[in-house]
A and B are shown apart, each in its own frame.
Chain A
Amino acid sequence: MDGPPMRMVTVWLPDWSAVAAGFRPEQLAAVMHANRVVARTAAAAAEGVVIGQRRRQAQRRCPDLVLADHDVARDAREFEPVVRAVAEFSPRLDVVEAGWVSLAARGPSRYFGGDAELSDVLLEAIGSAVGVTGTGVGGTGGPVGVGVADGRFASSAAARLSVRRGSPVLVEAGGSAAFCAPLPIGWLQTLGECDPEMIDLFIRLGLRRLGDLAALTASDVLGRFGHPGVHAHQLASGADHRLPSTTDPSPERRLDHVLDDPVAQAAAVVFVAKQLADELAQALSAEGRVCTRLVVQLETEHSERSERSWFRSAGLNAAAMVERVRWQLDAWINLPRGSDQEITGGIALIRLTPDEVRADVGSQLGLWGGQSEADRQAARSVARLAMLTSDEAVTVPVWNGGRLPADRYRWVPASMVDFDQRQRATSAAGTGSGPVGPWPGSLPSPSPATVFAEPHPVEVFDKAGQPVKVSGRGVVSAGPAQFRLLTGDEASGWRRGRLRQVAAWAGPWPIDERWWEPERHRRLARFQMVTDDQRSYLVIAEHRRWWISALYD
C-alpha cells in the first residue's frame, strides 16, 4: 500500500449504446431499457433528453425521438474496433464495459513524450476507428473523453469530466486527491464503485463531496461503514491502491481447456467457458478471494488469437466471467472480413487467467443480503438444469413494464443473469406500484394468475345474441351477456365451445400503444368479465375480434 497509485489513462465514450445502435449524433435518438433512457445522441441530449428519463418524458421533450432497445451484446460487439485501436498503444488494457477502457499510462506516455501527447494520439486513433473526430465533444460518432490520473478511479472521473470540458483532462502526478475533492459523492456510484444505498447514506450524513469523505479518518470510516466504506474512502482520497497491492496469481490458477474437436458454435464455447468460470470462481472463493481482472484468451484451430482483459471493481463472479467471454467471442465473430486476426476456424482453446485478485471483503453484499446456502444450491441447480434441457429453457423473470399482463415481465435465460445482482434487478420492478411507481394505464391489482402468451379467441354476445362491438371511440354496442371459446383455427373452421353467461363485467379500458411504430402498433380495449360460476377473465377486443388474454384463477 506504499507509493502513489499506478498512473492510468481512461478512455470513455459516453452514450456508447446509442453509437452502437447505429445512430449518428445529429439524429434525434435514444436507447431504452425498461422504459428508461440509457443512452442518447448528442442532438437528443441538446433537446433535453436525459439518461434515466421515462420514455414518455423523453418524447415530450423531443417528439421526433427514434427509439431502440438496449442490447448489451451489441454494445460489446460494436466496441471491438475501439478496443483494437487502443490496444495498439498498450497490450495491457482493461475493458470495464462497452465504452470504457483503462490502461496503464506510464509506458505509452513516456513513449509519446507526455500525457498530453498520449491523449492526442489516443483520440486520433479512436477517431479513425469509429469515425469520431479528434477533440472531445462534437464530431461524427459522438464525444470521447480521455483522462489521465493516478489510479483507476481518478482517471475514470477525469475521462468523464473531459467529455464535458471538450478536451482531455490531465491530473498531474500526486494530484488525484485534490482533483477528486470537489466532485459530487454520487460519482462513486456512477463509476460502479459503491452501492446506491451507501451513497444515499453518505448524502444524508452530509457528505456531499468526495473531499468531505476524504477528510474523515480511515479508522472512523472503517468502524462505521466497514470495508465498502474504506474502499470509498480510499478512492475519495486519491489512494486507489488496488493494483500494486495485489500479487500476481500463481500460474496454476490459470485454467484452460483444449477442445479436441474445435467447435464452431458460440453456445458450445460459452458452455465450456461456464465450466471453467465456475471452477475458477469456486477455487478463488475457497481462498476468500475474488477476481477483479480476468484475462480471457481464445484460440482457434488455425491459431488465430483473441486476448482481452476485463475489469470489474466489484469483482467478477462466474456469471460475469461467462458474460465477458460471450462478449469477446461475439465481437470476434463479427469482425469485418479480411481484418487482422479474423476468425476462420473453430475455437480450440479457452483460457481464463485471473490477472488481479483481491481479498473478498464481501463488498457487494448488503447488510441483510448476501448469499445463503439456498441461493448457492439454486445457482448450481440452474446450471445443471440448463445442461439437461437447453440454455433457453431455463429462464428467470425480468421486469419489462407494460399495460397488458403479458408484456409486464420478460423471461430471460438464467445463464445470462448475474444472480448476485438479481435482487436489485427485480426488486426495482415492483408490480405497478413498486419503487418505479405506478405504471399508467395498467390494470389495478389484483392481477391475473394465468397469463396466456397467445390469447384464446372467443365470441362475445349481448342479451339479444348479437355480437358485441367496440367502436373506435371506446363505446360498447351493448353489455356483454355471454361468450364462448373458439378452438381450432380459422382455416379449418372454428369449433365453438359452450356458451358461458356473464354475470358481471367492467370496461372497456382502451389502449392505443406505439402508434408511432406501424408494425408494433396495438389498439385494443380491455374488459374484465365474471361468469355466473364466478370465474373471471381478462378479455380484450382488438381488430373486431375478441380474445381471452388472462384468467384470474
Chain B
Amino acid sequence: MDVAVRDINDDVPGNIAGKQVNDVADPGTGTPASLASVLAALGDRVAPVSMAREQMLPVAGHVTKLFSEGGLVRGRVLSCRGMAATSASLDLVAAAVAAGSWLAVIDVPTLGLDAASELGVPLERIVAIDTSLGGKTTAANVAERAARWADVVAAAADGFEVMLTRVPAEVTASTVRKVATRLQQRGVVMLVLGDPGPLVCDGVIDTIDQVWSGVGAGWGHLQQRTVDMSASGRRVPGRRCVSLALPFGAEVTSSEHDAAATALDNEPPLLSAVS
C-alpha cells in the first residue's frame, strides 16, 4: 500500500500537478465545473488503484510469454520444476535483480554462481542464508529447523524482493500460511525449487523437455540447450509454453529446434585440410 502511494506521487509530474493547483487557486478561472473536473482528475490520480505495473517485477523479454501479466507479479509463489529448474529460476529473476532488487537464496547451498552470472543475475545483490546453521538436520531438530526457515523467510521479506528457496519437508501448513501472507504483504516473489510441500504455489514453471547441443560421443563441449518451459497453476489462465535457448535467452523457432534436436546425432565437425 505505501509502495503504491509513493509510486503514485512519483508518477505525478511536478509541472502538471503545479499547473492544475494554480488553476484551482486562481479565482478568475476557477468555475465550479472546472474545479469539479480537476478534482475528479486528481482523485483518479491519488486513488489507491492497483496498477499492474506497480505490482510487478520485470522479467527478461524471452520469458514474458510465460506470464499473462508480462512479469513476475509481486506476492506470488512460483514453483520451478523439471530438468532445468535451477537455470529457469535464475533466468526468471535475472531481470528483476539486474533492475535493483535483491535476491535472497535461502537453503540452496548448491547454487552455481557462474551460471547465475551467465544468466544475467548481478552477483553483488545475492545474499545466501543457511537455516541449518551448519549442522545436519536430524529427526530431533527438524521441527526447529522448519520454524527457523519460516522466521528467516519472514525477516528476509523486509529487505529482499525476490527469494529462491527450498521448503523444508517438515514445515506445517499453518506456518506456511503465515509465510505466504507475509510474502503477499511485502510483495515478495518467491521461487521454490524442489517439492513445495504444503506451500500453495500460484504458478508452476515446468521444464517439459530440453535438448543439449555441442557435445557428442567423446567430442565437443556443452554449448547450448533448447528448453521447453510451461507455466500453469491456479493463477495462470490456460497453459503457456515457450521454447528457449539457454543461456543466451533467444526464443527458438521450430526449425532451429529441430536442428538442435538432431545435433546430437551429427558427426563431429571434421577438420578440413588447409593447403
Taking Cβ atoms with an 8 Å cutoff, the residues of A that contact B are 372, 374-375, 377-382, 384-385, 388-390, 392-397, 405, 408-409, 411, 414, 422-423, 425-427, 429-432, 443-453, 476, 479, 503-507, 528, 530, 533-536, 550-553
- Chain B CB count within 10 A is highest, among A377, A408, A504, for A504
**Which residue from chain B places its CB closest to the CB of A453 in the assembled complex?**
B109
**Chain A residues, Cβ within 8 Å of B160:** 378, 381
Task: Report B74-90 CB contacts with A as 1/0, cut-off 8 Å.
Answer: 00000000011111001
B111 & A553 in contact (Cβ 8 Å cutoff): no
A247 CB to closest chain B CB (Å) equals: 35
Contact check, A379 vs B124: say whether CB atoms are below 8 A apart. no
DSSP majority for the A interface?
A: mixed
**Given A396-B127, A503-B264, A534-B212, does the pair A382, B159 have CB atoms closer than 8 Å?**
yes
Question: Can you list 29 A-B pairs, Cβ within 8 angstroms, ordered by A?
Answer: A374-B100, A378-B127, A378-B159, A379-B159, A380-B158, A382-B127, A384-B159, A388-B148, A389-B130, A390-B133, A393-B131, A396-B127, A408-B114, A423-B124, A426-B124, A445-B247, A446-B222, A447-B112, A449-B87, A449-B111, A451-B112, A504-B216, A505-B217, A530-B215, A530-B222, A533-B83, A534-B209, A553-B83, A553-B85
- Choice from A394, A408, A429, A450 contacting B129 with Cβ under 8 Å: A394
Q: What is the distance, in angstroms, from A378's C-beta to the closest C-beta of chain B?
A: 4
Give A372 to B97 CA distance when docked, in angstroms. 13
- Asked if residues B220 and A506 are in contact (CB atoms below 8 Å), the reply is yes
CB distance from A248 to the nearest CB of B (A): 36
- Does B118 count as interface, using CB distance less than 8 angstroms? yes
Are the C-beta atoms of B158 and A377 separated by less than 8 Å?
A: yes
- A451 and B215 CA atoms in complex are apart in Å by 20
Smallest CB–CB gap between B91 and chain A, Å? 10
- B residues within 8 A CB of A378? 102, 125, 127, 159-160
Q: Is the CB of B212 within 8 A of A397?
A: no
B134 touches A (CB below 8 Å): yes
Contact check: which of B127, B148, B158 meets A394 at CB < 8 Å?
B127
In the assembled complex, which residues on chain A have CB atoms less than 8 Å from the CB atom of B225?
Answer: 446, 534, 536, 552
Q: Are B151 and A388 in contact (CB under 8 A)?
A: yes
Q: If A374-B101, A443-B221, A445-B118 touch, does A395 touch B127 (CB 8 Å cutoff)? A: yes
Let me know if B221 and A528 touch, CB within 8 A: yes
* CB-nearest residue of chain B to A530: B212
A528 with B222: CB separation less than 8 A:
yes
A411–B123 touching, CB < 8 Å: no
The 3 closest A-B pairs by CB, nearest first: A381-B159, A447-B114, A449-B86
B241 at the interface (CB under 8 A from A): no
B32 at the interface (CB under 8 A from A): no
Choose among B134, B159, B216 the residue that contacts A377 (Cβ–Cβ < 8 A).
Answer: B159
Asked if B125 and A385 sit within 8 Å, CB to CB, the answer is no
Smallest Cβ distance from B133 to chain A, in angstroms? 6
A residues less than 8 Å from B134 (CB atoms): 392-393
A388 contacts which of B85, B155, B216 (Cβ < 8 Å)?
B155
B156 near A381: Cβ-Cβ < 8 Å: yes
Contact of B111 among A379, A394, A443, A451 (CB under 8 A): A451
The answer to whether B217 touches A381 (Cβ under 8 A) is: no
Q: Are B83 and A385 in contact (CB under 8 A)?
A: no
A475 to chain B, nearest CB (A): 12
- Provide the bound-state CA to CA distance between A432 and B85, in Å: 23
Q: In the complex, which residues of chain A have a beta carbon less than 8 angstroms from the beta carbon of B122?
A: 426-427
Q: Is the CB of B115 within 8 A of A446?
A: yes
Q: Number of contacting residues on B, CB 8 A?
A: 58
Cα–Cα distance between A431 and B123 once the two chains are bound (Å): 10
Would you give the 0/1 interface string for B203-235, flagging 1 where the beta carbon is closer than 8 Å to chain A? 000000111100111111111110000000000
A372 and B124 alpha carbons, distance in the complex (Å):
14
Q: Are B210 and A429 in contact (CB under 8 A)?
A: no
Complex contacts, B220 vs chain A, CB 8 Å = 506
What are the interface flags for B137-164 relative to A under an 8 Å C-beta threshold, 1 for contact and 0 otherwise?
0000000000010011001101111000
Please tell me if the beta carbons of B159 and A444 are within 8 angstroms of each other in the complex.
no
- Determine the chain A residues whose CB is within 8 A of the CB of B85 once the complex forms: 553
In the complex the two chains form, is B156's CB within 8 Å of A550's CB?
A: no
Contact of A384 with B155 in the complex, beta carbons under 8 Å: yes
Residue B117 is within 8 A (CB to CB) of chain A in the complex: yes
Are B114 and A380 in contact, CB atoms less than 8 angstroms apart? Answer: no
Question: Roughly how many angstroms separate A451 CA and B264 CA in the complex, as a whole number?
Answer: 25
CB neighbours of B123 from chain A (8 A): 397, 409, 426, 429
- Select one of A388, A426, A536 contacting B212, CB under 8 A: A536
Which residue from chain A places its CB closest to the CB of B161 in the assembled complex? Answer: A374
Contact residue among B111, B118, B152, B212 (Cβ-Cβ distance under 8 Å from A450): B111
Contact of B126 among A397, A445, A552, A553 (CB under 8 A): A397
Check if A405 sits within 8 Å of B128, measured CB to CB.
Answer: no
Cα of A393 to Cα of B156 in the assembled complex, Å:
13
Tell me if B219 and A506 are in contact (CB < 8 A): yes
CB <8 Å contact, B152 and A389: yes
**A507 partner residues in chain B, CB cutoff 8 A:** 218
Interface string of B92-107 (1 = CB under 8 A from A): 0000000011100000
Complex Cα spacing A384 to B224, Å: 40
**Complex: chain B residue closest to A509, CB-CB:** B221
Closest chain-A Cβ to B101's Cβ sits at a distance in Å of 6
- Nearest-CB residue, chain B, relative to A386: B129
Which partner residue on chain B sits nearest A399 by CB separation? B123
The reply to whether B217 and A385 form a contact with Cβ atoms under 8 Å apart is: no
| A448–chain B nearest beta-carbon distance, Å | 5
Known contacts A389-B130, A445-B114, A552-B87; can you find 7 more A-B pairs with CB under 8 A? A378-B125, A378-B127, A446-B115, A448-B115, A479-B218, A506-B219, A528-B215
Residue contact B159 to A394, C-beta cutoff 8 Å: no
B15 at the interface (CB under 8 A from A): no
Cα distance A535–B211 in the bound complex, in angstroms? 9
A380 to B111: give the CA distance in the assembly, Å: 24
CA A550 – CA B115 in complex, angstroms? 11
B254 within 8 A of A: no
Complex interface: chain B residues within 8 A of A451 (CB): 110-113
Complex Cα spacing A375 to B102, Å:
7
Is B246 in contact with chain A by the CB < 8 A criterion?
A: yes
Tell me which residues across on chain A come within 8 A of B124, comparing CB atoms: 396, 422-423, 425-427
Contact A411 B114 (CB under 8 A): no
The complex places the Cα of A493 from the Cα of B129 at a distance, in Å, of 34
**Docked complex Cα distance between A505 and B109 (Å):** 27
